[in-house]
């Protein structure tokens, strides 16, 4: 095979000596990344006359920040960290008023309308418990705010699971018909994504989270590189009081078999280093488990089968009320073994896996005036993943693993997988906010990221029939790849929030975003030269440099008051996402091509995937603090990634059918209706009830669809078909019962109709039944329903009055429902082996204790 490739890494020595020291030496605040701050504004009037009052003192004691109202009686605080604050308002001749628990949410404005009572004598200050408005008019898209306390109360393990409780989100995390990889996860405004293969890379200790904003539609121009949803996790900052937390829970206190042998421990400490100036927060979470398959693993893999370690630390230095410096760091490591039922007699033959992620970030935030502030940040994110032993040479290419006589179970040998990947990203970012006049709130920013990507993969898989049976007399498919590239990306955005709600009852969010990606790679021209009637030699004749990719994304949202308690929202936007870098680079490096063309080859000239979406929403507040909403959405998704076979026939070079390349072409649509009834506050019960009707159809279900369809010799889709996450009817209920004696009982229940699978029966596992016709996702699995419950009792001890104890019982799948996850083409749950992984986990009971002091 002939191979000619030129590769310029473009990560020069000069870039290394500039970026790395800058990241290590600049010390700036991690609490203030874009998407983590909010605003407090309001007006102060004389309670008797209604006259606007100038010169009123407005103070945030916890932050040592204050201001006075202007000639129009208005005040404004920008650049406020997410959280709750007390606000003291005073003026000589008037009674002082203290508002407690004023909530500041990320990216949102909190308004206070204050009436001061005139008095001739000094009176005690009035204390007002401030409650959030039932409908947030600043938000023109669908956004949910989940507090850190909510996450700890819910029977869930992380923020991603909190997102799955919301309308329009499937059980696996597909948002409004999109793929799970189309959701962008941020920690303090910066991504924590695996840019090679997708997904969130790290889990933060729950005790380090102050809250999260979950956007399932209509996110603003500030956010890019996401097609379906944004989850922005905002971390806590230390206060001027030392606080500590310890938590421990297990699911096997009492033994039994219906356990995962899982144990969780969490520790948290925060407080001042220098009072009112320098604060710290550190948090640790550890999980060990033998998984739900421990009865099989105990004979093959040392305990624990899976270990998770997550740590987070933050320093915040308040130089003065308008200038903050600081930094944060998190570390996350996971070691585990996957379970596959057909390997149950040889689980030691499956390779161990490891993932290690870390990030260090620094930031500067400064308010230059009451109306203008900016933040500037530098960060370095690193992710290392490995699979298999220490050396790729341990893989025996010519001696694949052995099956039993019936080709059901693997009984000997090791899987031919080995990989070692490393990805680093260096990001510089600037965001600024300016309040122009009374009506305009301008936000603009820029971001630049330099990536350093290295991947070395040895992967060999036997050919299989569509029905999963191995074809032993065919050569294995070679998915090996080795590459090192240094792409770069950047963005600019401008957002204007025009607030005419006071005069006309209208608010407009208008923005535009520009993004670019430079792959810094070349695409090889591969020609198939026939050497016999049924054999080809693949020759790389030259290379073509991949062009820079550009995207302009306009966003528009409008909120209108249509009744005293009702609001109508419209949102329209263009959204985009760059392909995963594995889709761009797999198999294209000089080393990889020298070994032979990989069965599935990357394409650095792929275009970004694009979505055009709009939504219409009506929200109305009812008595008893109830809010009802109805939202219709529609999305058209283009330029999605699939794979196309370029060498048909019986080529012996890259598998037995040629090779495939990633291409842009599939098309998909999603539309639906979301109905929700919410009660965020109440004396004894609050929660949310939602119903979603959604239709999701496309011409391809994954980036590998075309590859496997060609391998199996089946006809490609010529029509849109329901995608595997087409969850038509979904009902979700979250109920929090606030009982006497400091007890909470929280119940989660959900139901959805069955999702699609392909009914294409076979009697032998090698050929379809005579007359059978292959039509993708032409049948439905049974309906899915589950109920989770968490009961928590809070109490104090007389001998330790400053400590709050919590004892909780967390029961997942209370009724032990057998919910189906997959079926084979014959309609059998778990296939011919009755694979138990076809069922969702059964009941698990977790008992734990937590102490805050």
Residues 104, 146, single domain; the answer is no
Reported confidence tier of residue 370, pLDDT bands at 50, 70, 90: confident
State pLDDT tens for residues 386-439: 998 777 766 766 667 888 888 889 998 888 889 999 999 999 999 999 988 888
State pLDDT tens for residues 344-364: 999 999 999 999 999 999 989
Say what the pLDDT of residue 558 is: 94
Encoding tokens for residue 237?
Answer: 């900052």
Say what the pLDDT of residue 136 is: 80
Other CB atoms closer than 10 Å to residue 763's CB: what's the count?
11
CATH number of the structural domain spanning residue 422: 2.40.170.20
Say what the pLDDT of residue 592 is: 56
Q: Considering the domain boundaries, does residue 700 fall inside one?
A: yes
Give the integer Cα–Cα distance in Å for 585 and 601. Answer: 8
Question: Is the Cα torsion angle 134, 135, 139, 143 positive or negative in sign?
Answer: positive
Say what the pLDDT of residue 654 is: 41
Contact 143, 213 (CB under 8 A): yes
Residues 87, 172, single domain; the answer is no
Say what the pLDDT of residue 435 is: 87
Give the integer Cα–Cα distance in Å for 345 and 341. Answer: 9
Inform me whether the pLDDT recorded for 269 exceeds 90.
yes
Query: Per the structure, how many domains does the chain have?
Result: 2
Most confident of the following: 21-25, 263-267, 318-322: 263-267
Q: Considering the domain boundaries, does residue 172 fall inside one?
A: yes
Q: Considering the domain boundaries, does residue 372 fall inside one?
A: yes
Give the integer Cα–Cα distance in Å for 302 and 296. Answer: 11
The residue among 40 and 543 whose pLDDT is bigger is: 40
Look at 243-252, 428-437, 686-695 and tell me which has the smallest mean pLDDT. Answer: 428-437
Between the alpha carbon of residue 788 and those of residues 213, 580, 810, the distances in Å are: 23, 35, 8
Q: Considering the domain boundaries, does residue 2 fall inside one?
A: no
Residues 237, 90, single domain; the answer is no
Reported confidence tier of residue 526, pLDDT bands at 50, 70, 90: low
Q: Considering the domain boundaries, does residue 836 fall inside one?
A: yes
State pLDDT tens for residues 47-87: 888 888 888 888 888 877 888 888 888 888 887 887 788 88
Inform me whether the pLDDT recorded for 785 exceeds 80.
yes
Residues 189, 63, single domain; the answer is no
Residues 93, 180, single domain; the answer is no
The residue among 279 and 127 whose pLDDT is bigger is: 279
Q: Considering the domain boundaries, does residue 402 fall inside one?
A: yes
Residues 210, 66, single domain; the answer is no
Residues 149, 120, single domain; the answer is no
Reported confidence tier of residue 335, pLDDT bands at 50, 70, 90: very high
Closest CA to 294 of 255, 351, 266, 248: 255
Closest CA to 752 of 785, 726, 788: 785
Residues 257, 326, single domain; the answer is yes
Closest CA to 372 of 437, 421, 422: 437
Q: Considering the domain boundaries, does residue 26 fall inside one?
A: no
Look at 153-167, 389-403, 564-578, 830-844 and tell me which has the smallest mean pLDDT. Answer: 389-403
Reported confidence tier of residue 98, pLDDT bands at 50, 70, 90: confident
State pLDDT tens for residues 9-32: 333 333 333 333 333 333 333 333
For 662, how many CA atoms within 13 A lie in the half-sphere containing its CB?
A: 27
Look at 216-230, 402-416, 583-597 and tell me which has the smallest mean pLDDT. Answer: 583-597
Contact 361, 330 (CB under 8 A): no
Q: Considering the domain boundaries, does residue 562 fall inside one?
A: yes
Residues 681, 704, single domain; the answer is yes
Say what the pLDDT of residue 653 is: 39
Say what the pLDDT of residue 203 is: 86
Other CB atoms closer than 10 Å to residue 818's CB: what's the count?
13
Reported confidence tier of residue 596, pLDDT bands at 50, 70, 90: low
Inform me whether the pLDDT recorded for 847 exceeds 90.
yes
Its domain, for residue 439, covers 13-18+140-852
Residues 430, 508, single domain; the answer is yes
Say what the pLDDT of residue 135 is: 82
Say what the pLDDT of residue 689 is: 97
Other CB atoms closer than 10 Å to residue 399's CB: what's the count?
11
181 CB burial (10 A radius; 0-12, 13-18, 19+) = buried
CA angle 625, 626, 629 (to 5 degrees): 140
Three-state DSSP class for residue 202: coil
Question: Is the Cα torsion angle 394, 395, 396, 397 positive or negative in sign?
Answer: negative
Q: Which residues pair with 81 in a beta bridge?
A: 37
Give the integer Cα–Cα distance in Å for 361 and 359. Answer: 6
Residues 59, 168, single domain; the answer is no
CATH number of the structural domain spanning residue 122: 2.60.40.1120
Quote the mean pLDDT of the chain: 86
Residues 6+ apart with CB under 8 A from 225: 184, 191, 515, 576, 577, 578
Say what the pLDDT of residue 77 is: 84
Q: Tokens 């009674």 belong to which residue?
A: 95
Look at 13-22, 323-332, 809-818 and tell me which has the smallest mean pLDDT. Answer: 13-22
Residues 121, 148, single domain; the answer is no
Displacement of CA 632 from its chain's centroid (Å): 23
The two beta strands, 743-752 and 729-739, are antiparallel
């Amino acid at each position: 095979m002939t191979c000619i490739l030129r590769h310029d890494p473009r990560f020069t020595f000069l870039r290394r000596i500039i970026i790395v020291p800058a990241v290590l030496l600049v010390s700036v605040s991690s609490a203030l990344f874009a998407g983590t701050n909010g605003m407090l504004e309001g007006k102060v009037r004389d309670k008797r006359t209604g006259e606007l009052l100038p010169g009123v003192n407005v103070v945030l004691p916890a932050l040592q920040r204050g201001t006075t109202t202007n000639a129009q009686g208005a005040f404004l605080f920008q650049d406020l960290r997410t959280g709750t604050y007390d606000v003291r308002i005073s003026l000589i001749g008037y009674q002082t008023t203290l508002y407690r628990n004023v909530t500041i949410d990320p990216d949102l404005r909190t308004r206070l309308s204050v009436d001061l009572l005139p008095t001739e004598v000094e009176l005690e200050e009035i204390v007002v418990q401030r409650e959030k408005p039932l409908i947030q008019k600043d938000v023109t898209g669908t956004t949910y705010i989940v507090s850190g306390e909510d996450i700890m109360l819910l029977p869930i393990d992380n923020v991603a699971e909190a997102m799955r409780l919301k309308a329009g989100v499937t059980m696996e995390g597909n948002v409004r018909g999109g793929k799970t990889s189309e959701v962008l996860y941020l920690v303090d405004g910066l991504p924590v994504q695996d840019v090679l293969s997708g997904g969130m890379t790290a889990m933060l200790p729950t005790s380090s989270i102050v809250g999260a904003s979950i956007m399932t539609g209509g996110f603003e121009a500030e956010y890019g590189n996401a097609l379906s949803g944004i989850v922005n996790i905002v971390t806590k900052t230390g206060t001027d009081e030392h606080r500590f937390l310890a938590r421990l829970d297990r699911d096997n206190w009492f033994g039994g078999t219906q356990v995962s042998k899982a144990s969780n421990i969490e520790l948290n400490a925060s407080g001042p280093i220098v009072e009112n100036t320098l604060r710290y927060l550190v948090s640790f979470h550890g999980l060990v488990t033998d998984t739900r398959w421990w009865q099989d693993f105990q004979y093959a893999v040392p305990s624990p089968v899976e270990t998770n370690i997550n740590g987070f630390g933050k320093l915040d230095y308040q130089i003065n009320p308008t200038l903050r410096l600081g930094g944060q760091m998190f570390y996350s490591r996971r070691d585990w073994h996957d379970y596959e039922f057909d390997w149950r007699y040889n689980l030691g033959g499956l390779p161990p896996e490891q993932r290690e992620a870390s990030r260090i970030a620094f930031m500067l935030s400064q308010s230059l005036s009451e109306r203008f502030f900016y933040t500037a940040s530098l960060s370095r994110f690193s992710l290392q993943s490995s699979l298999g032993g220490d050396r790729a040479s341990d893989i025996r290419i010519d001696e694949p693993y052995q099956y039993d006589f019936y080709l059901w179970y693997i009984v000997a040998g090791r899987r031919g997988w080995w990989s070692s990947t490393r990805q680093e990203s260096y990001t510089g970012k600037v965001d600024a906010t300016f309040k122009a006049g009374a009506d305009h709130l301008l936000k603009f920013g820029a971001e630049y990221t330099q990536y350093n990507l290295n991947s070395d993969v040895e992967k060999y898989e036997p050919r299989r029939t569509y029905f999963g049976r191995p074809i032993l007399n065919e050569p294995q498919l070679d998915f090996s790849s080795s590459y090192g590239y240094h792409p770069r990306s950047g963005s600019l955005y401008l957002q204007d929030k025009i607030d005419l709600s006071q005069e006309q009852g209208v608010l407009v969010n208008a923005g535009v975003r520009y993004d670019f990606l430079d792959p810094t790679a070349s695409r090889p021209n591969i020609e198939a030269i026939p050497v016999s009637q049924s054999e080809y030699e693949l020759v790389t004749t030259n290379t073509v440099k991949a062009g820079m990719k550009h995207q302009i994304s306009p966003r528009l949202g409008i909120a209108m008051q249509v009744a005293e308690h009702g609001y109508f929202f419209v949102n329209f936007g263009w959204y985009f996402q760059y392909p995963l870098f594995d889709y761009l680079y797999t198999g294209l490096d000089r080393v990889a091509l020298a070994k032979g063309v990989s069965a599935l080859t990357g394409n650095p000239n792929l275009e970004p995937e694009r979505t055009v979406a709009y939504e219409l929403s009506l929200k109305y507040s009812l008595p008893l603090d109830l809010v009802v909403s109805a939202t219709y959405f529609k999305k058209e998704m283009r330029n999605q990634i699939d794979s196309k076979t370029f060498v048909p026939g019986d080529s012996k070079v890259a598998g037995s059918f040629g090779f495939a390349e990633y291409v842009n072409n599939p098309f998909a649509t999603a539309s639906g209706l979301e109905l929700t009834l919410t009660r965020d506050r109440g004396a004894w019960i609050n929660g949310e009830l939602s119903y979603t009707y959604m239709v999701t159809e496309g011409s391809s279900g994954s980036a590998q669809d075309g590859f496997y369809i060609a391998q199996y010799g089946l006809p490609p889709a010529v029509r849109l078909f329901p995608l595997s996450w087409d969850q038509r009817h979904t009902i979700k209920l979250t109920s929090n019962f606030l009982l006497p004696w400091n007890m909470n009982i929280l119940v989660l229940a959900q139901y959805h109709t069955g999702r699609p699978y392909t009914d294409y029966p076979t009697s032998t596992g090698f050929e379809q039944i005579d007359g059978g016709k292959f039509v993708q996702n032409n049948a439905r699995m049974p309906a899915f329903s589950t109920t989770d419950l968490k009961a928590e009792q809070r109490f104090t001890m007389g001998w330790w009055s400053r400590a709050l104890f919590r004892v909780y019982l967390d029961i997942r799948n209370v009724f032990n429902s057998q919910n189906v996850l997959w079926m084979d083409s014959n309609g059998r749950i778990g296939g011919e082996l009755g694979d138990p992984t076809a069922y969702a986990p059964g009941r698990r009971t977790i008992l734990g204790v937590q102490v805050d002091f």
